[in-house]
Structure 1
C-alpha cells in the first residue's frame, strides 16, 4: 500500500498534472472516480494512509 500511495503522490508532482486531469475525457474521469471509490476510499484502507489519500483525492477527482 505504501508503494501505491507514494506512486500516486509522486504522479501529482508531474508538471501540469492538474491540467492533464482536467482534460481527461469524461469516460476516463468516470473510471478514475470509480477506481478511487472502490479501491482507495473504503474502510479497509489503513488509517495511516487515509489523510494522505484524502488530500490526493482532490487532485485526482477535482470535480467532486
Structure 2
C-alpha cells in the first residue's frame, strides 16, 4: 500500500513524485519539473513505489 510521503513513479515511467494525500479514491502526488512544483492525482494501480537508492529527488 502506498502511504503519504512515499516516493513513487508511474509504472510506465516518468519523474519521481511524493505522495501528498488521497482524495476521491485517487493518490495525490507532487513533483518538481525543473521549473515549478507540479501536482496531479493518479489511480493507485498506475503507481509503483521507488526503492531506496532510486530517488531522483534527493541531491
Q: TM (normalized to structure 2)?
A: 0.26
| Higher relative contact order (CA closer than 8 Å, sequence separation 6+) | 1
TM-score normalised by structure 1 residue count? 0.25
Quick check: which one's helix share is greater?
1
Structure with greater proportional strand content: 2
Q: Which has the larger radius of gyration?
A: 1
